[in-house]
Amino acid sequence: MEIKIVYMTAGNMDEALRIAKVLVQRRLAACVNIIDGMRSVYEWEGTIQEEREVVIIAKTHADCLPELEEAVKSMHSYDCPCIVGVDVSGGNNAFLDWVREQVGPASLRTAD
């Protein structure tokens, strides 16, 4: 199927929107959904941390994942941001085709 949902988190809404717009402008994601007000629980240096974060869900093609990852890491305020891919299997084919048309690693796309 090669279409992927990429689940990420960001520190705040501004950062999430900035990342989302760059990914769509550079055609590394067809669309990006952002959910504010998430609470993240994790351990850091022996103590349990609880932070406010924002969820970012991008829809893209597997071929774009390496470039998407580099782009997010270059923009992100974290040293080691959560960027995890999940394979899509089934769904609205017209939507999946739209995702394919909207994205493509720069190397494959002729100048727009």
- Among 28, 33, 26, smallest CA distance to 7 is for 33
Give the x-and-dash track for 68-87 against a copy of itself (CB under 8 A).
-x--xx------xxxxxxxx
- Closest of 8, 2, 37 to residue 22, by C-alpha: 8
**In the complex, least distance from residue 107 CB atom to a copy of itself, rounded to whole angstroms:** 18
Spell out where 16-46 has E strands: 31-44
Q: How many residues does the chain have?
A: 112
Binding site for a copy of itself (CB under 8 A): 3-7, 9, 13, 17, 20-21, 24-25, 27, 30-43, 48, 50, 53, 55, 57, 59, 62, 65, 69, 72-73, 80-92, 94-96, 98, 102
